[in-house]
Copies of this chain bind each other. A is one copy, B any other.
Amino acid sequence: MARFLKNREQVKGRSPGSLIFVGTQKVDKVNIRLIDYDDHHLIDQELLDINDAAPYKTTEAVTWININGLHDEQSIGDAGRVFDLHPLVTEDILNTGQRPKIDDYDSYIFIVLKMIRFDRQTQMIVNEQLSIVLADTFVLTFQEQPGDVFEPVRERIRRHKSRIRVSGTDYLAFTLMDTVVENYISVIEHLGEKIEDLEEDILSGHDTAVMEKIHLFKREINYLRKSIRPAKEAVFQMAKLESSLIHDKTLPFLKDLEDLITHATEAIDTYRDLLTDQLNIYNSVVANKMNDIMKVLTIFAAIFIPLTFIAGIYGTNFEYLPELRYKYSYFIFWGVLIAIAGASLYYFKKKRWF
């Protein structure tokens, strides 16, 4: 399966707005969790049916409904109906090959992001689609599988008097997005450390796996980039939406989020450049090593080949070969050999070959 384009094939030819789950089923049962709060009260419970959430929809308090597991098209369809979502929105929620984006549907804002984390087991970067629907009185979030990434947010909600308890849905949505972006940063940092650790291996030139690692990291970086760059666009668009759903006092937080995600994309670009530089350096190291190998060969060959030739001369069986008869010939012969070898070595030394 091509990694950069997920499962589009499955929906080809269907009508836009059809509810078809596109992706791999990652969880057994759909899991719905409702948190309803304002500065006075807090309700935190699991729901069995999304229809049970209907009464919370129009209350003044902030209602956050998180749905884990997207394979149950029925539930997502129900959620769409209960919360009056456009068919394209429910389609996009189900289609996990969606590009990060933000769409303003007047009565609500629809945000798609990629949640990225490093899987310690496979040593791979995995991502998961997170859809957020931000309305006046509720926030819906849709994840592919349960995870404890939003647990710190819930902790903050549980704390009485926290800023989140006294703010609206927009601040909740910001907090969730902020959490996602903080995750980007730590994945990049993790990958970045590995990339920087390559340096030493590269300059020694011993490890031939270096090249494969560079290539692997480059792919990972490109993979991250593909998710984070459109997310950056979405974040910048959000601050410019002029939607009544986003209050003025949330704007500085969005601006801070812009800085954070810009930071992330710049770090990605920096590591991309670093990897390109590393490959160049590695190639230079390899070329240099080749020179060294050839020098060894050439020195050996240039010294011994002439010597062997001279020995060969006196190994001929000519009947009249005067030198063979003289008593000191053998020693003169050795002298000549040593002189030639010395001259060669001096020549290579002068050329700074060793």
Contact = CB atoms under 8 A, between A and B. Distances in A.
A135 to B, nearest CB: 17
A211 B311 contact: no
Interface string A291-329: 101111110111011111101111111111111111111
A241 to B, nearest CB: 14
A305 B302 contact: no
A9 B186 contact: yes
B286 A2 contact: no
Nearest to A13: B152
A101 to B, nearest CB: 6
A320 to B, nearest CB: 5
Contacts of A255: 103
A99 B329 contact: no
A119 interface: no
Contacts of A11: 182
A242 interface: no
Interface residues of A, number: 117
A118 B3 CA distance: 19
Interface stretch (A27-35, A64-72, A138-146, A273-281): A273-281
Interface stretch (A37-45, A52-60, A215-223): A215-223
Given A252-B103, A284-B282, A329-B320, A305 B300 contact: yes
Nearest to A151: B13
A100 B306 CA distance: 65
B302 A302 contact: no
Contacts of A283: 283-284, 287
A186 B267 CA distance: 25
A289 interface: yes
The 7 closest A-B pairs by CB, nearest first: A311-B312, A13-B152, A314-B316, A2-B192, A297-B298, A315-B315, A304-B305
